[in-house]
């Protein structure tokens, strides 16, 4: 498991392009029959990817759980949200099977011991994108389909940011300990997300961008509002956003992204907005 330690805003001002990418960008999440995991010391969030092809893959495959977390199994003191961004598959949680279509989401509460991933077809594998946060209490494991998500249409075509925020793992949909996750879909002709830019001192965030058409990229904006930087991101890559950093982006095409948050609260609108003319 790749370990990322916390970076502060003063040092990041001096980072090269490659240093920014090494610190915050998460690549190559979907390897055949493997689990790829990145542990961030920012709020101790873990980002994982799994693409089962020929095998049924356990969530802890290749991870030394005791060395990484000091626990006996992955979710002993953690909760996790999982999206399928690939072809149909299924997740088995302690013997219960959850069929996972494209853009379906599964929340698994603290205490689940066995989590297994599989694809319906090796020719068209599922791709499970996951974010896990520490948890001090347990709720209910639940499958959430796109139709069940709370929807917040935002933006306009005039400002190139007409989009729908789909809140899946959110207090309006189901109770969790601290994890919040959702999916934002931009309409054709719109390229900007998360405007006006903002930070939220009390929470960190992780984005993953997908459904980026071939030959296109997303410029992910980060850094302090008056010291912005960017990371060029390709399809199915993720990025860590500390609480002091803005997290916005513009693509060369429309795209979809999944956001995950953890920290002091779950108030979606707890943001410190930065007026667009004040960005530097």
Q: Please give the C-alpha separations between residue 245 and each of 207, 248, 275, in angstroms, as whole numbers.
A: 13, 10, 15
Q: What is the pLDDT of residue 198?
A: 87
CA 223 to chain centre: 18
Q: How far apart are CA 254 and CA 196, in angstroms?
A: 18
pLDDT for 200 equals 84
Kind and range of the H or E run holding 247: none
What's the confidence (pLDDT) of residue 49?
98
Distance from C-alpha of 116 to C-alpha of 95, rounded to nearest angstrom: 9
Rounded Cα gap, residues 156 and 165, in angstroms: 13
Of the candidates 5, 116, 113, 8, which has an alpha carbon nearest to the alpha carbon of residue 52? 116
Provide the residue-wise pLDDT of the chain in tens; the chain has 280 residues: 999 998 999 999 999 999 999 999 999 999 999 999 999 999 999 999 999 999 999 999 999 999 999 999 999 999 999 999 999 999 999 999 999 999 999 999 999 999 999 999 999 999 999 999 999 999 999 999 999 999 999 999 999 999 999 999 999 999 999 999 999 999 999 999 988 888 888 789 999 999 999 999 999 999 999 999 999 999 999 999 999 999 999 999 999 999 999 977 777 777 788 988 999 9
Kindly report the CA angle at 249 between 246 and 166, in degrees rounded to 5? Answer: 90
Rounded distance between C-alpha atoms, residue 257 and residue 185, angstroms:
7
pLDDT of 261 reads 92
- Distance, CA of 130 to CA of 84 (rounded, Å): 9
**C-alpha separations of 264 from 31, 42, 159 in Å:** 33, 12, 32
Rounded Cα distance between 94 and 111, Å, is: 10
Q: What is the DSSP track for 104-146?
A: -EEEE-TT---EEEEESBTTB---EEEEEEE-SS----EEE-G
Is the CB of residue 169 less than 8 Å from the CB of residue 176? yes
pLDDT value of position 121: 97
Give the whole-angstrom CA distance, residue 68 versus residue 188.
Answer: 42
- Contact status, residue 160 vs residue 190, Cβ threshold 8 Å: yes
Q: Do the Cβ atoms of 239 and 219 come closer than 8 Å?
A: no
**DSSP designation for 148:** G
Q: How far apart are CA 71 and CA 82, in angstroms?
A: 21
End-to-end Cα distance, the chain? 35
């Amino acid at each position: 498991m790749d370990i990322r330690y916390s970076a502060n805003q003063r040092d990041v001002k001096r980072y090269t392009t490659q240093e920014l990418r090494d610190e915050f960008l998460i690549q190559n999440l979907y390897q055949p029959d493997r689990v790829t995991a990145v542990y961030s010391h920012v709020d101790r969030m873990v980002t994982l990817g799994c693409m089962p092809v020929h095998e049924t893959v356990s969530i802890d495959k290749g991870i030394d759980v005791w060395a990484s977390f000091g626990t006996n199994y992955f979710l002993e003191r953690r909760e996790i949200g999982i999206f399928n961004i690939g072809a149909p598959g299924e997740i088995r949680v302690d013997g219960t099977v959850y069929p996972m279509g494209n853009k379906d989401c599964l929340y698994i509460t603290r205490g689940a011991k066995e989590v297994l991933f599989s694809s319906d077809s090796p020719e068209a594998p599922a791709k499970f994108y996951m974010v896990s946060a520490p948890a001090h209490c347990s709720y209910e494991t639940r499958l959430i389909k796109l139709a069940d998500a709370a929807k917040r249409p935002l933006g306009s075509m005039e400002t190139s940011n007409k989009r729908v925020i789909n809140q899946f793992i959110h207090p309006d949909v189901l109770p969790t300990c601290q994890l919040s996750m959702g999916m934002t879909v931009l309409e054709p002709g719109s390229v900007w997300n998360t405007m006006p830019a903002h930070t939220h001192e009390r929470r960190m965030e992780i984005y993953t961008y997908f459904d980026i058409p071939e030959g296109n990229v997303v410029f992910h904006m980060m850094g302090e509002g008056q010291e912005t930087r960017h990371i060029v991101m390709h399809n199915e890559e993720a990025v860590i956003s500390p609480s002091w950093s803005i997290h916005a982006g513009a693509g060369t095409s429309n795209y979809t992204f999944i956001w995950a948050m953890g920290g002091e609260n779950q108030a979606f609108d707890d943001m410190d907005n930065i007026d667009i003319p004040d960005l530097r």
